[in-house]
Amino acid sequence: RCSSSLPRRRGACRAIRPPFSPGASACMGIVRVRFLHGVGASFVYGAAAGACGLRVSRGGGARRQERAGSGMAGDAKLALCQLAVTADKAANLSNAVQRIEEAAGQGARVVVLPECFNCLGVHIVGGSIPERDGDHLYNTSLVFDSNGDNIARHRKLHLFDIDVPGKIRFQESEVLTAGSSLCTFSSPLGDIGVGICYDIRFPELAAEYGRRGCRLLVYPGAFNMTTGPAHWELLQRARAVDNQVFVAACSPARDESATYTAWGHSTVVDPWGTVLGRLDEKPGVLVVSLPSTEPDGVRTSIPILRQKRHDLFDLGRWLAKP
């Protein structure tokens, strides 16, 4: 439903119901907003911890799915919105609308919101919310196109069960169920693969997305004050270089008073491993251009994807051996 706290414009808002499997439900309504100045919204909703990415494009009335890659006319812009997330859902949504409008105004075609967020958006890839399906609760990111249609869903594959003595213990599996399928979709930036937070630590997922032709991998996430300084950027650069793709990881802004303190530092990395842009720990919007010549240029210069020994690295084949 349309929250009464959101800025209302005549004819601007309609509720949509995603095609969940029987018995499935989300903990909050999914809303599509079309602003009168011509920015249509398509959401990628996330699940249990709450990551959101949104694909932003102008003139959202077209039903045609834009497909990028070699046919892209020029560089396209990606935006990461590092939001201050609070316990007030209405305030979170209102803040998201403002930040998405800001990013769209700077020409962004895809807008990504962080994990641990209740999200609303504009043409978008959007974050994670808890999704109940029968007796199971998933950390799910749903993708919606500019018409409000649910075109993809990613349920977090790897649950964050860690115990660093004297620093942090966190057990997602005590509440959540792991997903069992991968998620890719087409966008104005090309094909995009979605992971949530801890998924970035597993190179096999990123490698499979690369094999499927993804140009960009998006990870809404909320690394903490222990793992963030050590691994947040390192893992993004590793996944980018290993698979010669763009990687974008979007975090909530840091709140020192929260029971779980996020590292922040939302970042975009190119296929060469160069950081194209990053935020600090405070709320902000990062907009970067993704060169249309990449990742094809890097893949031509260093053709590791063609040279990889799949005959040796087919993990399933080795596990199937007696």
CA atoms within 13 A of residue 309's CA, in its CB half-sphere: 2
Give the DSSP H or E segment for 74.
none
> What is the DSSP-derived secondary structure letter of residue 134?
T
Alpha-carbon distances of 95 from 37, 60, 90, 101, rounded to whole Å: 18, 21, 9, 10
Q: Which residues are the active-site residues? A: 115, 156, 197
How far, in Å, CA of 281 to CA of 121, rounded? 22
Kindly compute the dihedral angle of the four CA atoms of residues 207, 43, 18, 1, in this order, to the nearest 10 degrees: 150
Question: Nearest 5°: phi and psi at 154?
Answer: -120, 120
Q: 180: closest CA among 154, 145, 206, 201? A: 154
Instruction: Tell me the pairing of strands 246-250 and 216-220.
Output: parallel
Q: Are 98 and 74 a contacting pair, CB within 8 Å? A: no
Give the DSSP H or E segment for 104.
helix 89-105
State the alpha helices, DSSP H only, in 176-215: 203-211
